[in-house]
A and B are shown apart, each in its own frame.
Chain A
């Protein structure tokens, strides 16, 4: 949370989960373990210890503060405050599964500037912009690149890079090898990993992290990215006829009047925020049944190893072999409760029977897992929207990356169960908003 947030009028409770989810990295799969939602933890919790004291009310230290900063770094911070920061400009979001990194590549560098540019800075720029993959697991989402962006008076391109959190030590090591600390730069980082890896950054990389609240960053990032669009196209979109593969269409949505807005961030877990204005929002709830659950269960049930693989299997499976539907019980619609026959009565309900367990494929199981988790998120989001009296719901987070099945299902479920009252919206840069928010914080862009 940003500095000063504690006494602020809005009640936010927890942090958001971060966004990313498992993205596998290019080179390999890995995306898996990612992202748990950070403090959101509160979401589900059940764990043992008396966790019930929920998180709210809990004191958090303010990110945004430079704990234990040395006087040198304090100076740096001071200078930061006065003018725009030195290059390089990064925003970092370290989730439980994935690290999201945004990098601003200035394109308006003058010859003079280029001359002055220190070697290490130049090498970073060249390394990041001339590759689309880094090591075996880092990936640049080239299709998401935002071109000709003006930030703090500088023109350039914004790059979106992700790698698994378990490669964080290698990243820090690289920072040390490339002598980042000599650049006098500040790393603005959000996500739980900003805390978890803070000490490593300091002792190994001689880098001081500026820790930022993930909910603040998330909201800031979304609003900003939506305002700049997507290289001339709309950032935000929705689905028309989501249940009909023939007629289903992805259409742009104008989020010019975003408030109030229910923001559902599906990372490893899920956080749900009600946003009333740029800086008035609260965390409504969260659930531990998120992208991490989908991927984790798929690994156990099918032996798959990447998020892509899990989704690919799901796309070929049939969940109705696994789930017990209303029509399996009532022979058709259950009119008394207004339940359509196709609705799932019991997720995995058919798996109570030995014969049916033996008759399902891994693809069917992957599909059922995806449907179960997605429906549940939709259902919780819908109840939150009703309780908060909000009818626009924006779903973000890396669970949705390349996951059209889930997006269409969310769109359909929200529309169907709310009888058209609720609209599900999505955003092109689904998992990167936290990192963008961190970058904005670095640049002091309000």
Chain B
């Protein structure tokens, strides 16, 4: 990544206003390679978008090369690892106050080196105002884009690509933020944009016929890889109404009534006021009788109804509060009326009136609930402020077909949700700390739902919502903090030849530590907090500092050791009777799963006892009956006809995949079941990657005729998951894998390991048989589940008829 913090070095300060310091390591990263700019200039905030490429180091594995100098027979590695540079695409978004615009443009001009870009897409009310400035500073031609078109394009983009983008806000409930999982059929929806006025827009295929077709398409998983035509229908929208009572009314009328000039200050006033001093309530009219009548006396009968008097002074706070209620209620009421007219039950809210302000999200939510009697959901967006910039960018990048790809929020490079909320930091809004960032990585392959999910719209990958569960949150945050030293050490050790590894590792530590602290304060900062998101954030941070695969050497060694044991293990399995062998295979899978550098309890053992072996691991396992034990049912099933095709998600390198998974695979193959073995596309901890799995399979095939013929005949297929996470999100899987699963008619899914089968997917409902197995290598979690360290989960499920 480019650290374009050059402004700190003596010479470059010239064009920057000295009073404005741009946080150098943080913003406008990767500017050198930037191309395609877009800018959205609102009333007070500017959002800049650019597309850039990032050079990463990646560890590549290559099948044994005999010219390799390592000739030590006993420790001959099974393959070689080389570190290469890889270029990936990334979208950068930066949000800052309009006051910085000139400084920012100068900064960009100074750092933009070899771009071929000639045009900048601009949207937002301020685009006209700053047009000349932008053209002069950047020497780019400003192309003005329609505000609403950009907004819709941006909205569709985040809803599709960011899993926990939309949320409901319920003040005082726990958690206050309820994130929605991506709904596969989001269209059509209502978007209510509350700027100075209110626009109400219906988004998506307009006619009911098209809508039906579209949901059919979406439910088959086409959503993540839409054809261009489909994107065009999705981006279609209709302005169905509006209202002049909006954010400008709150601001303008508020300024008149309270002499308070700033929007944020008005909101702050409102959050402290008592509207009942200004509004005429039902109880003011009915006296005490509203109770016997069953009326809610607190309902507002007439906004500002008590202010019609010359002899009372009203406080600024009370008036601001009354105004806020009046406007929020009115907007909510109109939104409900439009939703009803168009038969829609979800309304997304955006615009500066909403923009992350808990106060307005609260009153709008209240109003929607009230007027719709709970039938309409008010939803907000984490990246609402960026929609215009994202949309303008997409508009300009149409020939790159950004919608053909799947994208992923980069947790390392993005600020969290409420970074500029006045309520969370009411007093200090530091002049230089107001840069908010969003970065999105382009994934090389499109991601779709696993076709075997029972109900994609209700699938939630994560088992525990840490935003919901304070106890678990505390535990896991601490756990990740405590593990940080080890991760840093491992990262440094993985790059012995690098001079700056220690320095980068230190930066990684700082970054991840800060993320953890942010999450302690705002657990909802990146959507629902889960063990998965904590793990993924760590991976993103490691990548950010060029530690693409700290475990590559460990995995290499573990794979080498395990491969040497393969034949012996197969031998002893083959010597067993059928029934005994089935249990031994399952125990092997479980014992293999003990070898996990990601689990602290295990990595301690492995560090201190390098000889710790497969047999010891088996002894560590809990005896049957296991904590969750449907083995008998599974055995019974095995006595029946073979499965047609099994999809297996593998976990760790080394013993796990080689001595646990492969023998199991081999048995399935022998039964006549085809097997798809799915491994991560990119590295995460010591999980086996797709490219490693190819080599491992090749080596096993060389030893074992069953595997060899299955590979040769296409009965054993190695596939990549599309993921680089130690966990598994079945709604974001590589499209090639999904297609294959459908083609082969997979009727058994095996998910292995804590990350994939316990932290995620433990409750996942599938349309076919499934086996979820894991060894609990964390005593806190084991205890929570009612077991002990090394308890076993063996969950065999058959879908209801």
Q: Which of A's residues lie within 8 Å of B, judged by CB? A: 17, 22, 32-33, 35-49, 51-55, 58-61, 95-97, 191-193, 195-198, 267-269, 285, 287-293, 295-297, 299-301, 303, 305, 322-324, 329, 336-339, 343-352, 354, 357, 365, 372, 375-376, 379-380, 383-384, 386-387
Beyond A288-B279, A349-B248, A354-B261, is A32–B301 a contact (Cβ under 8 Å)?
no
18-41 of chain B: CB within 8 A of chain A: none
Which stretch, B152-160, B291-299, B609-617, B703-711, touches the partner chain A?
B291-299
Beyond A33-B308, A285-B333, is A269–B301 a contact (Cβ under 8 Å)?
yes
List residues of chain B with CB within 8 A of the CB of A329. Answer: 125
Closest chain B CB from A168 CB (angstroms): 11
- In the complex, A216 Cα to B363 Cα: how many Å? 32
- In the complex, A357 Cα to B248 Cα: how many Å? 13
List residues of chain B with CB within 8 A of the CB of A301. Answer: 256-257
List residues of chain B with CB within 8 A of the CB of A97. Answer: 305, 308
List residues of chain A with CB within 8 A of the CB of B319. Answer: 300
* 0 or 1 for each of B133-156: is its CB under 8 Å from A? (1 = yes): 000000000000010100000000
Q: Which residue of A is nearest B261, CB measured? A: A354
* 0 or 1 for each of B275-318: is its CB under 8 Å from A? (1 = yes): 11011111011111110111110111111111111100010000
- In the complex, A375 Cα to B305 Cα: how many Å? 18
A347 with B337: CB separation less than 8 A? no
Decide if B330 is an interface residue (CB 8 Å cutoff).
yes
B286 with A197: CB separation less than 8 A? no
List residues of chain A with CB within 8 A of the CB of B334. Answer: 379-380, 383
Decide if B341 is an interface residue (CB 8 Å cutoff).
yes
List residues of chain B with CB within 8 A of the CB of A375. Answer: 244
A383 with B326: CB separation less than 8 A? no
A384 with B337: CB separation less than 8 A? yes
List residues of chain A with CB within 8 A of the CB of B314. Answer: 300
Which stretch, B366-374, B498-506, B776-784, touches the partner chain A?
B366-374
Beyond A41-B281, A46-B363, A324-B248, is A346–B296 a contact (Cβ under 8 Å)?
no
A293 with B305: CB separation less than 8 A? yes
- Cβ-neighbour of B249 out of A191, A290, A347, A380 (below 8 A): A347
Decide if B340 is an interface residue (CB 8 Å cutoff).
yes
- In the complex, A61 Cα to B280 Cα: how many Å? 23
- In the complex, A212 Cα to B778 Cα: how many Å? 69
B285 with A292: CB separation less than 8 A? no
List residues of chain B with CB within 8 A of the CB of A338. Answer: 239
List residues of chain B with CB within 8 A of the CB of A322. Answer: 252
Beyond A38-B282, A51-B299, A195-B287, is A296–B337 a contact (Cβ under 8 Å)?
no
Decide if B329 is an interface residue (CB 8 Å cutoff).
yes
- Cβ-neighbour of A53 out of B288, B296, B301, B302 (below 8 A): B296
List residues of chain A with CB within 8 A of the CB of B280. Answer: 33, 36, 96, 268-269, 292
B255 with A36: CB separation less than 8 A? no
List residues of chain A with CB within 8 A of the CB of B248. Answer: 324, 345-349, 351-352
B330 with A376: CB separation less than 8 A? yes
New A-B pairs, 19, CB < 8 Å, besides A300-B257, A348-B248: A17-B301, A35-B305, A46-B328, A52-B366, A192-B285, A195-B287, A196-B285, A196-B287, A267-B302, A268-B302, A289-B245, A293-B305, A299-B310, A301-B257, A336-B148, A351-B251, A357-B256, A372-B249, A376-B245
Decide if B745 is an interface residue (CB 8 Å cutoff).
no
Closest chain B CB from A423 CB (angstroms): 19
- In the complex, A61 Cα to B314 Cα: how many Å? 36
645-678 of chain B: CB within 8 A of chain A: none
B302 with A269: CB separation less than 8 A? yes
- In the complex, A352 Cα to B276 Cα: how many Å? 26
Beyond A192-B282, A268-B302, is A39–B308 a contact (Cβ under 8 Å)?
no
- In the complex, A58 Cα to B295 Cα: how many Å? 7
List residues of chain B with CB within 8 A of the CB of A287. Answer: 329-330, 333
Closest chain B CB from A401 CB (angstroms): 15
- Cβ-neighbour of A36 out of B261, B305, B333 (below 8 A): B305
* 0 or 1 for each of B172-197: is its CB under 8 Å from A? (1 = yes): 00000000000000000000000111
A303 with B304: CB separation less than 8 A? no
Q: Which residue of B is nearest A17, CB measured? A: B301
B256 with A288: CB separation less than 8 A? no
Could you list 23 A-B pairs, sorted by A, with CB under 8 Å?
Answer: A32-B308, A36-B282, A38-B282, A39-B293, A39-B295, A42-B299, A45-B296, A46-B328, A46-B329, A47-B275, A96-B302, A197-B287, A285-B337, A293-B305, A300-B304, A300-B307, A305-B310, A347-B252, A348-B253, A349-B249, A352-B248, A352-B252, A376-B244
Beyond A39-B295, A324-B196, A380-B334, is A351–B304 a contact (Cβ under 8 Å)?
no
- In the complex, A279 Cα to B28 Cα: how many Å? 68
- Cβ-neighbour of B303 out of A285, A293, A336 (below 8 A): A293
- Cβ-neighbour of A352 out of B251, B281, B302 (below 8 A): B251
Decide if B338 is an interface residue (CB 8 Å cutoff).
yes
- In the complex, A289 Cα to B244 Cα: how many Å? 14
Decide if B220 is an interface residue (CB 8 Å cutoff).
no
A380 with B337: CB separation less than 8 A? yes
Beyond A36-B284, A45-B370, A352-B251, is A296–B307 a contact (Cβ under 8 Å)?
yes
- In the complex, A32 Cα to B308 Cα: how many Å? 6
Q: Which residue of A is nearest B245, CB measured? A: A347
- In the complex, A37 Cα to B299 Cα: how many Å? 10
- In the complex, A384 Cα to B294 Cα: how many Å? 25
List residues of chain A with CB within 8 A of the CB of B148. Answer: 336-337
A22 with B308: CB separation less than 8 A? yes
A195 with B307: CB separation less than 8 A? no
Most chain-A CB neighbours within 10 Å: which of B199, B241, B287, B303?
B303
A292 with B296: CB separation less than 8 A? no
List residues of chain B with CB within 8 A of the CB of A40. Answer: 282, 301
Decide if B383 is an interface residue (CB 8 Å cutoff).
no
A52 with B369: CB separation less than 8 A? yes
A348 with B252: CB separation less than 8 A? yes
- In the complex, A196 Cα to B282 Cα: how many Å? 11
- In the complex, A192 Cα to B248 Cα: how many Å? 34
Beyond A46-B328, A59-B294, A344-B244, is A38–B257 a contact (Cβ under 8 Å)?
no
220-251 of chain B: CB within 8 A of chain A: 239, 241-249, 251
A349 with B330: CB separation less than 8 A? no
List residues of chain A with CB within 8 A of the CB of B329. Answer: 44-46, 287-288
B245 with A372: CB separation less than 8 A? yes
- Cβ-neighbour of B282 out of A39, A295, A296, A345 (below 8 A): A39
List residues of chain B with CB within 8 A of the CB of A323. Answer: 244
A383 with B338: CB separation less than 8 A? yes
B289 with A198: CB separation less than 8 A? yes
188-219 of chain B: CB within 8 A of chain A: 195-197, 199
List residues of chain A with CB within 8 A of the CB of B307. Answer: 296-297, 299-300
B337 with A383: CB separation less than 8 A? yes
B296 with A51: CB separation less than 8 A? yes
Decide if B90 is an interface residue (CB 8 Å cutoff).
no
